[in-house]
């Protein structure tokens, strides 16, 4: 596919997510630092266009190195990286980075520039016309839930940590990149704000559908956000690459089993949907105050509803109307690895 910088540039684009997302293919990618450290010994991984993949693993396993090799902030010492079908190890790294969004912990906003100027950074570098930049910045601020009139003129120190982080995401999306790389993007904010940011971020991703690679230390974050999770061990070795439910349900190696921990069963409930076909009928004698969960909730929600009531059975509702029910046994069957 065509991912030349010009496609994201001055061609009159101002619509979020208009440019197609590109797949990422790592083929035997390696990094040996000058001091001899073999940070990544040959990693092959494919990320589908529009997919959100999380890299997780212990400290020093090479996650950040892998991420930064994708936009060549770190030059690989072997292997190939493709964006779509284009080998990025052969293109100019500066131009490459302008079409790959990059978000880090603590954001790295320019402190002496307003929110508006920060978000406009890459479109300016790409030479977009002023009015196009302006409408693009407004559009992005609205998309991340910050009113442009209120927040556009503020400086980073006049924002909360969570707001700064959102501006960082807006800045990374400004030139409609084909790929977004995120290194511990939410770890600097407190747990409550972090959960909210993660939810907002998922809504944003549902809208823009970028190809995203996100590094985290936090397994709950990985499970919540990832379409797939890649677990790395030392040397960037790929232990398992699976959707969250499969990773938690069937760890592929002893390393992964230990890494996901003894409470993986509980974590798995969070990503287990309440499938309509697995429900039992609504009991005819259901009490009006029987515990209920929506059909688009999770097995975790259903268990929580059971545990906080004296009832033996939880109703499952669709648009407020009961469409089925689950008792404990049925719920555990639903959550058991297939
Ligand atoms: N510039 C460098 N020179 C030499 N070794 C390095 C350099 N940068 C990283 N390393 C080493 O490469 C390995 C992988 O580091 P990397 O930062 O990619 O790991 P990580 O999984 O992201 O770790 P963390 O979770 O702690 O951020 C580590 O052993 C690290 O010490």
pLDDT of residue 94: 83
* Distance between CA atoms of residues 242 and 230, nearest Å: 7
Contact 122, 168 (CB under 8 A): no
Ligand 1 near 208 CB (within 6 A): no
Q: Is the dihedral of CA 236, 211, 77, 85 positive or negative?
A: positive
- The protein residue whose alpha carbon is closest to atom 7 in ligand 1 is 33
Q: What band does 9 get if pLDDT is binned at 50, 70 and 90?
A: very low
Q: Please list the helix, strand and coil fractions of the chain in percent, rounded to the nearest 5, in that order.
A: 40, 25, 40
What are residue 212's DSSP bridge partners?
52, 180
* Distance between CA atoms of residues 17 and 314, nearest Å: 40
Closest CA to 130 of 208, 3, 14: 14
> Among 61, 69, 73, which residue has the most ligand 1 atoms within 8 Å of its CB, making it the best to mutate?
61
CA 67 to chain centre: 13
Ligand 1 near 36 CB (within 6 A): no
Percent of the chain at pLDDT exceeding 90: 45
Cβ atoms within 10 Å of 91's Cβ, excluding its own: 16
Q: Which pTM does this prediction carry?
A: 0.80
- Averaged pLDDT for residues 168-172: 87
pLDDT of residue 198: 86
Structure tokens at 242: 């699976």
Instruction: Please state the atom number of ligand 1 nearest to the C-alpha of residue 61.
Output: 21
The H or E element that residue 144 is part of is none
* Distance between CA atoms of residues 315 and 324, nearest Å: 6
Three-state DSSP at 264 gives: helix
Task: Give all strands of the β-sheet with 52-56 in edge-to-edge order.
Answer: 100-104, 179-183, 211-215, 52-56, 228-233, 237-242
Ligand 1 near 236 CB (within 6 A): no
Q: Residue with structure tokens 């800045």? A: 171
Q: What band does 263 get if pLDDT is binned at 50, 70 and 90?
A: confident
* Distance between CA atoms of residues 269 and 248, nearest Å: 10
For residue 65, report the distance from its CA to the centre of ligand 1, in Å: 6
Q: What band does 7 get if pLDDT is binned at 50, 70 and 90?
A: very low
Q: State the CATH class of domain 24-112+169-261.
A: alpha beta
Tally the C-alpha atoms within 13 A of residue 251's C-alpha that lie toward its C-beta.
Answer: 17
* Distance between CA atoms of residues 108 and 185, nearest Å: 11
Ligand 1 near 233 CB (within 6 A): no
Ligand 1 near 63 CB (within 6 A): yes
* Distance between CA atoms of residues 138 and 198, nearest Å: 22
Cβ atoms within 10 Å of 207's Cβ, excluding its own: 11
In the predicted structure, residue 14 carries a pLDDT above the cut 60: no
* Distance between CA atoms of residues 300 and 290, nearest Å: 17
Ligand 1 near 35 CB (within 6 A): yes
Q: Higher confidence at residue 250 or residue 16?
A: 250
Lowest mean pLDDT among 105-109, 186-190, 192-196, 292-296: 105-109
- What does the domain layout of the chain look like in residue ranges? 24-112+169-261, 272-335
Contact 230, 47 (CB under 8 A): no
Q: Residue with structure tokens 């929506």? A: 294
Lowest mean pLDDT among 55-59, 103-107, 217-221: 103-107
pLDDT of residue 18: 53
Tally the C-alpha atoms within 13 A of residue 129's C-alpha that lie toward its C-beta.
Answer: 8
Q: Residue with structure tokens 């669709």? A: 318
Ligand 1 near 59 CB (within 6 A): yes
Closest CA to 210 of 67, 93, 6, 53: 53
* Distance between CA atoms of residues 145 and 332, nearest Å: 38
> Among 33, 39, 77, 104, which residue has the most ligand 1 atoms within 8 Å of its CB, making it the best to mutate?
39
Instruction: Give per-residue pLDDT as tens, 215-258.
Output: 998 898 999 899 999 999 999 999 999 999 889 888 999 999 99
For residue 60, report the distance from its CA to the centre of ligand 1, in Å: 5
Ligand 1 near 110 CB (within 6 A): no
Q: CATH for 272-335? A: 3.10.580.10
* Distance between CA atoms of residues 178 and 56, nearest Å: 22
Instruction: Give per-residue pLDDT as tens, 288-333.
Output: 788 999 999 988 899 889 888 878 899 999 998 999 999 988 888 8
């Amino acid at each position: 596919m065509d991912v030349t910088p010009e496609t994201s540039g001055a061609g009159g684009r101002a619509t979020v997510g208009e440019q197609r997302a590109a797949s990422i293919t790592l083929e035997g990618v390696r990094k040996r630092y000058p001091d001899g450290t073999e940070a990544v010994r040959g990693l092959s991984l494919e990320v589908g266009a529009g997919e959100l993949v999380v890299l997780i693993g212990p400290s020093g396993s090479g996650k950040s190195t892998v991420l930064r090799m994708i936009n060549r902030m770190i030059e690989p010492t072997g292997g190939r990286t493709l964006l779509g079908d284009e080998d990025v190890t052969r293109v100019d790294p500066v131009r490459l980075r302008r079409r790959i969004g990059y978000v880090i912990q603590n954001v790295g906003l320019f402190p002496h520039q307003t929110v508006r100027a920060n978000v406009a950074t890459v479109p300016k570098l790409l030479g977009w016309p002023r009015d196009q930049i302006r409408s693009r910045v407004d559009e992005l601020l609205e998309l991340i839930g910050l009113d442009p009139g209120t927040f556009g003129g503020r400086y980073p120190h006049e924002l909360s940590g969570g707001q700064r982080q959102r501006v960082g995401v807006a800045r990374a999306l400004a030139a409609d990149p084909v790929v977004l790389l995120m290194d511990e993007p939410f770890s600097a904010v407190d747990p409550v704000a972090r959960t909210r940011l993660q939810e907002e971020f998922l809504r944003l991703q549902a809208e823009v559908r970028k190809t995203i690679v996100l590094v985290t230390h936090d397994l709950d974050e990985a499970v919540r956000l990832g379409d797939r999770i890649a677990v790395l061990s030392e040397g960037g070795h790929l232990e398992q690459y699976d959707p969250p439910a499969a990773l938690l349900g069937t760890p592929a190696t002893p390393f992964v089993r230990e890494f996901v921990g003894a409470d993986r069963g509980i974590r798995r409930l969070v990503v287990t949907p309440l499938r309509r076909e697995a429900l039992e009928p609504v009991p005819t004698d259901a009490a009006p105050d029987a515990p209920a969960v929506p059909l688009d909730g999770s097995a975790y929600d259903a268990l929580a509803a059971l545990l906080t009531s004296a009832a033996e059975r939880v109703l499952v509702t669709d648009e407020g109307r009961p469409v089925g029910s689950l008792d404990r046994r049925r719920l555990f069957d639903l959550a058991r690895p297939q």
